[in-house]
Amino acid sequence: MDSECIWTTDAAACPDPVLSAERTFISCGNAGFDKTWRFTQGTSCLTTGSGCQDIGAQMSNLACTTSQTRDDPLHEEYQIIYVDDMGTPDDEEDDVCIIGELDECLIKDAGQYTYKGMDITWTGVITTADEIITTFEIPYTTKSITPKVICPSTGAAACRGTVACDMIGPQPCGRVVETCDGTYAPTMDPIDEADTSGSSHGDPIIWTFHGECYDLGADGRYLASSHEWFSHDVYISVYNDYMREIQVVDKYTGGLMLSISNLGEIINNSYPFFLEKRVDFCKPHQRDHCDMFYTEIIFDAQDFEYRVQILPHDYLDPALKEGETGIHLDIYPRPFDSFVNEKNAYQGLYFENPLPDILGSCPAH
């Protein structure tokens, strides 16, 4: 839409996909805002940082309402406009008024409209005995919209009122969407990808998303990835120098949402996101410790597609006798595009050494 990529329910065909699957995206909840304030004459907006609070594209169930007291002796009556712009209160030259009370607004009379792929219902100005109210609704936004208020310069007083917008988004949050995946090939030598990829394999060697490498050779249960935006955390358990279990835990209740063990046991307590178990051929770099096939469990958590591979080992495991084979997990958190801007806000073993005074760096470092 106007050169911006907008999610749509009309899925495009994927050329020769490696895997086509239905994936449940994380629910984002209410992303709305509201403010009641007193503003001076001229054009103002709800500020956030140094700019104006806007309604982003790809939001669903949008409903915006304004209200002000009728016949208020201490304040003038203001007008509301919703513009296609990301500017500041003093930067109005590029504003295109989509909805509002001004004559130049594309939508000014009450009714139902379509604009840039959006279905818009606008009530116009509704006057009651005590209030002056406006409301508009858009089931799904394809453009960023900024609410602005105009206090007349003809009166002696300032204006006062409320602007409130409720919405859910950005999409496709909470939806089951068919996706086409081109899978990443696991690597035992991820140095070239160290700035963008995290991994854990072997006994176990950890590569962080900040390009660091260390040996997690200490038993324990470790936080693997956590972000304040998400209500769940990922944990990994190490026993006898190998990863043996990965869990997804509700951050607030502590309840177990998903558990995958090195024995292939899966505890699924109504896990709400994408989860799949598959059997795949051993890759060339796995042939020394993989018997033709291996099991891989894939699940979505936070900004990642976690790939968990169940593989055998016959070395550096104090629980093994001569000639015996153990089983461990190799884990590859593959980031989605949304991860790029949030990498520095994550915590966990894929981002920093949890025991820097105990666990040393990889020999190459």
The pLDDT of residue 188 is: 34
SS3 content of the chain, % helix, strand, coil (to 5): 5, 45, 50
Chain Cα centroid distance, residue 133: 34
The pLDDT of residue 135 is: 96
Number of alpha carbons in the 13 Å side-chain half-sphere of residue 229: 16
Task: Tell me what the mean pLDDT of segment 263-270 comes to.
Answer: 92
| Residue of 259, 256, 233, 257 lying closest to 347 (CA atoms) | 233
The pLDDT of residue 93 is: 64
d(CA 310, CA 221): 18
d(CA 206, CA 81): 53
Residue 17, pLDDT > 80, answer: no
User: Which domains can be identified in the chain, with CATH numbers?
Assistant: 26-168 (2.60.120), 183-345 (no CATH)
Q: What is the pLDDT of residues 272-313, one digit of tens each?
A: 889 998 887 676 555 556 666 788 999 999 999 999 999 888
pTM for the structure as a whole: 0.49
The pLDDT of residue 179 is: 63
